[in-house]
A and B are shown apart, each in its own frame.
Chain A
Amino acid sequence: MLKHLDEYRDKRLAENLVRSIESTLTRPWTIMEICGGQTHSIMRYNLQELLPNEISLIHGPGCPVCVTPIELIDQAVELGRQTDVILVSFGDMLRVPGSKEDLLSVKAQGGEVKMVYAPLDALEIAEKNPEKEVVFFGVGFETTAPAVALAVKQAQIRGLENFSVLVSHVLVPPAIKALLEDKQNRIDGFLAAGHVCTIMGTAEYISLAESYQIPIVVTGFEPVDILLGIQKCIILLEQNHPGVENAYPRSVKPEGNPAAKKILKEVFTPVDRRWRGIGTIPQSGLKLTAAYQKFDASARFRLQHTTAEEPELCLAGEILTGRKKPPDCPAFGNQCKPDNPLGAPMVSSEGACAAYYRYQKTDRS
């Protein structure tokens, strides 16, 4: 048995929660989750089917791979094509389509593109290949950015001249704010991403809940965790009690992880960022601070800054903001499938379209 994992897949506990939710519910509510990992869990364990019809689960832009601007994919592709560069990335990014191609096709054509599990592994590649420039494609929310910050700081300490980062990190709270600022949004409550909060704590969410008078429940990723998050959110909604609750206390403390936050602040600083399919959200991205600017790949390689357009068929923007669901897209399952994706949400292991495609295809009881 996998400890701290299997217990939260226990069917009986899930059933207890569903019954509790049913007995609390008096009217319809719409809840959005902001983490692709949660989207996948919801689809994999068919949680929408278990819940009463009055509860609508909609999916937010919680997939950092999906929201990486197409221009950055194009820059990564440009770098991967250069003979003196090794482009290093998390696996997910390799098949995300840029305007013309993806990183996997660059690799197939002989470009040096390597996949790693940890940003620290990219440093090792740089150390072993001193004659090459090693560029790490830094993608991810606040959960991942500290690990990239650690790699950058280590590069500084070790005096690594041939290492740099193509920075594409994004922040969750500004995205929540942007969603709530849209007057047409129908979101009643949020499930906040438990692992983002493991790093950042709950302070930013408390101030969002206060400003927008909405419940936000910090939630984990296993099916029982998600049902618990939903149950707590429903209780707050039924009691008309906006605010933040922590449904993931085994990992999340109100102060988050102070050491991770410290390194994040030292190496990165917020910047305006375009989210693919959504547009620019102010102060929603990260860039390197002045002290670490020399590790910025965009500056080091003097990369082109262009704005590219998406294929018209792709509804990624509406999917990522919860206005549509993947089956609403005419291309879903037809022109757009995992082996021929039109947009990022069909590629990423955390994308809503990939989740729907994967889990709706099989018969599940």
Chain B
Amino acid sequence: MCLAVPGKILSIDESNPELLMARVQFGEAIREICIQWVEGVEIGDYILAHVGTALSKIDEADAKFTLDALREMGTSESDL
């Protein structure tokens, strides 16, 4: 139930300003997801989707920071 999955925005439907929707790709599957609660998303952005709603826009900078630090952990003695 808590499972939310990252997906890539393929297109945005702004026809109802109270209920912004997007077509989002999750691997091979494509679903309609409500993006009303995530600010400033564009085609190509990744969002985290759960039961048909986008919970957040995935922060690419934070993702990179985390992964870089984890890779670094293997090469030096310093902690994250």
Contact = CB atoms under 8 A, between A and B. Distances in A.
A4 B51 contact: no
A144 B77 CA distance: 40
A62 B63 CA distance: 25
Interface string A242-266: 0000000111110001011001000
Interface residues of B, number: 39
B52 A249 contact: no
A332 to B, nearest CB: 22
Contacts of A263: 37
Interface in B29-68: 31, 34, 36-39, 46, 48, 50-53, 55-56, 58-60, 62-63, 65-67
Contacts of B46: 3-4
Given A12-B74, A13-B71, A150 B63 contact: no
A146 B36 CA distance: 11
A146 B53 contact: yes
A196 interface: yes
Given A120-B52, A143-B50, A157-B18, A65 B62 contact: no
Interface of A: 2-5, 7, 12-13, 15-17, 19-20, 23-24, 35-37, 62-65, 90, 92, 117-121, 139-141, 143-144, 146-147, 150, 154, 157, 193, 195-196, 198-199, 221, 224, 228, 231-232, 235, 249-253, 257, 259-260, 263, 348-350
29 contacts: A2-B6, A3-B46, A4-B6, A7-B63, A15-B74, A19-B74, A20-B80, A62-B2, A64-B1, A65-B1, A117-B31, A118-B53, A121-B52, A140-B2, A141-B1, A143-B50, A147-B52, A154-B19, A157-B18, A228-B80, A232-B80, A235-B79, A250-B59, A257-B56, A259-B36, A259-B38, A260-B53, A348-B1, A350-B3
